[in-house]
């Protein structure tokens, strides 16, 4: 394992620095918009623009990499992301931010694709599981660490835009100086909604609903928590605890799904998340600790649902693993676009706690839909393989899954 990690250490170091900066900006931008007096609806729409850009980036990245090569494409993607965050600190109006958030989504999708194709080619079949686990831990840990910058009194919100840009740009250095040869360009993404839905009705719908929740947590979570307490630091801790809740729940929930019908595990996770969403709705004191508990439970409930939904679909994949994974990823991203839009609808209806109500409804949707499918459809595990933690990035990460290479 150590040898495999050393062979990709420059790539993993770039990922670490990149995602600390990315994690910081994902929380910084909504908090800055709040300080500018923007409504929750406008802030949510900028989050939807990011996820729309992410879908476009996933679809276009392979062609860009084939044209420019991995290192130049990575450098260009980082440049776009850094320009977007710096421009957002200068041009602070809604229409500009819609465009800039879209560009950020495009660039991050491309950067994930480059990193994951590089890891895939440099990793032996025997070490794929270890490298994938390390990569997943780095992704979530780095994004959680990015929230800590918002705890520092030394920086104002405007100064943190520069800090985020510095971190993004610094991520070029390890990959730019690597002596490792560039890998082959990845294939274009192909997806088929019908095949993915037929493989798992539960998986497709619950992957979409988990996207609604996670998309809302990322785009509006910090704003929601800071509004409840009047503290920017509370907003950063809320997002960090949601990430950590999802991180620590991933493996236990996945392993449990290897022994139970995965659909029951999805229902358990949704019930945990629903409990978290209900806590602030029922609490009238606006307690910070209630918010923190809600964040951890919502993260623990929502983030593993995507991986387990994908695993459930793969139990019926019949060799169509990548095609199904692509459909599930796009479904999840569509849900992430819809989450902020649904929240905007609750604002128009004048609901007092539209943020948690939207999340609660999505969790209820997972429970009801999964329960109906359990009653009407017997599960099949003809192609069952043990659960594997997969970060929710691009379809290129699926090629790292050791289950794809068992017959090589």
pLDDT at 286: 78
Torsion angle defined by CA atoms of residues 136, 137, 142 and 144, in that order, rounded to the nearest 10 degrees:
110
Q: What is the pTM of this model?
A: 0.92
- Delimit the domains of the chain by residue range: 1-180, 190-385
> Residue 309 has which token pair?
């939904």
Q: How far is CA 328 from CA 50, 202, 311, in A?
A: 18, 11, 11
Domain 1-180 has CATH 1.20.1250.20: yes
pLDDT of residue 395: 77
Q: Distances in Å between the alpha carbon of 240 and those of 228, 253, 284?
A: 17, 20, 23
The proportion of the chain whose per-residue pLDDT surpasses 90, expressed as a percent, equals 58
Residue 385, pLDDT score: 67
Q: Give SS3 for 215.
A: helix
Listing DSSP states for 282-337 in one string gives: H-SS--HHHHHHHHHHHHHHHHHHHHHHHHHHHTT-TT-HHHHHHHHHHHHHHHHH
The predicted pLDDT at position 284 comes to: 80
The arithmetic mean of pLDDT across residues 181-199, rounded, is: 77
Nearest to 109 by CA among 47, 50, 192: 50
**pLDDT computed for residue 403 by the predictor:** 67
Query: Quick one: average pLDDT of 187-191?
Result: 73
Whether 292 has a pLDDT exceeding 80, the answer reads: yes
Q: Extract the tokens encoding 7.
A: 């062979």
CA distance 133 to 15: 14
- Identify the DSSP state of 280: H
Q: What is the pLDDT of residue 184?
A: 78
Q: How confident is the model at residue 368 (pLDDT cuts 50, 70, 90)?
A: very high
Structure tokens at 42: 């406008």
pLDDT for the residue 130: 77
Q: Which CATH number fits domain 190-385: 1.20.1250.20, 2.40.160.20, 3.40.50.300, 1.10.3720.10?
A: 1.20.1250.20
Q: Which of the listed ranges 168-182, 208-222, 304-318 does the model predict with the highest average pLDDT?
A: 208-222
The answer to whether the beta carbons of residues 193 and 69 sit under 8 Å apart is: no
Q: How far apart are CA 223 and CA 234, in angstroms?
A: 9
Helix residue ranges per DSSP H, 258-286: 262-282
pLDDT of residue 91: 94
pLDDT at site 5: 64
- Band (312; pLDDT cuts 50, 70, 90): confident
pLDDT at 273: 98
Domain 1-180 and domain 190-385, same fold? Reply is yes
Burial letters 207-234, b for 16+ CB under 10 A, else e: bbbbbbbbbbbbbbbbbbbbbbbeebbb
365 token code pair: 């949707």
Question: What distance in Å separates the CA atoms of residue 331 and residue 315, rounded to the nearest whole number?
Answer: 18
Place of tokens 């029951």: 264
The confidence band for 380, taking pLDDT boundaries of 50, 70 and 90, is low
Q: Radius of gyration (Cα) for the chain, nearest Å?
A: 20
DSSP 148: G
| pLDDT at residue 192, as a whole number | 72
pLDDT of residue 45: 94
pLDDT in tens, 55-92: 999 989 889 988 998 899 999 999 999 999 999 999 99
Dist CA 368 CA 116 (whole Å): 35
């Amino acid at each position: 394992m150590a040898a495999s990690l050393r062979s990709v250490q420059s790539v993993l170091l770039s990922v670490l620095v990149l995602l600390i900066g990315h994690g910081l900006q994902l929380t910084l931008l909504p908090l800055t918009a709040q300080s500018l007096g923007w409504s929750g609806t406008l802030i949510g729409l900028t989050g939807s623009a990011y996820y729309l850009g992410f879908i476009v980036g996933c679809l276009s990245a392979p062609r860009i990499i084939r044209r420019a090569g991995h290192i130049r494409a990575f450098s260009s993607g980082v440049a776009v992301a850094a320009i977007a965050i710096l421009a957002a600190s200068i041009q602070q109006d809604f229409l500009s931010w819609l465009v800039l958030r879209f560009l950020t989504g495009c660039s991050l999708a491309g950067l994930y694709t480059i990193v994951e194709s590089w890891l895939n080619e440099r990793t032996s079949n025997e070490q794929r599981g270890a490298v994938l686990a390390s990569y997943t831990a780095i992704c979530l840990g780095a994004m959680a660490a990015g929230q800590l910058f918002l705890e520092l009194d030394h920086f104002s919100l405007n100064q943190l835009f520069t800090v985020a840009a510095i971190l993004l740009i610094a991520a070029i250095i390890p990959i730019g100086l690597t002596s490792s040869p560039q890998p082959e360009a990845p294939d274009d993404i192909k997806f088929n909604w019908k095949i993915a839905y037929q493989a798992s009705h539960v998986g497709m719908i619950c992957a979409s609903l988990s996207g609604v929740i996670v998309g809302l947590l990322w785009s509006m979570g910090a704003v929601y928590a800071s509004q409840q307490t009047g503290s920017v630091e509370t907003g950063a801790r809320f997002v960090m605890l949601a990430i950590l809740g999802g991180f620590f729940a991933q493996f236990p929930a996945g392993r449990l799904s290897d022994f139970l019908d995965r659909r029951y595990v999805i229902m358990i996770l949704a019930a945990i998340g629903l409990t978290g969403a209900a806590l602030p709705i029922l609490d009238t004191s606006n307690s910070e600790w209630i918010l923190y508990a809600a964040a951890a439970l919502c993260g623990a409930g929502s983030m593993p649902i995507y991986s387990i939904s994908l695993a459930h679909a793969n139990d019926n994949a019949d060799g169509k693993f990548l095609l199904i994974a692509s459909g599930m990823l796009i479904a999840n991203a569509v849900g992430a676009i819809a989450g902020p839009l649904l929240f905007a609808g609750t604002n128009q209806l004048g609901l007092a706690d539209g943020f948690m109500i939207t999340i609660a409804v999505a969790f209820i949707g997972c429970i009801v839909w999964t329960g109906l499918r359990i009653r009407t459809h017997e599960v099949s595990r003809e192609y069952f393989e043990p659960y594997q933690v997969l970060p929710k990035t691009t379809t290129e990460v699926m090629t790292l899954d050791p289950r794809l290479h068992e017959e090589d």
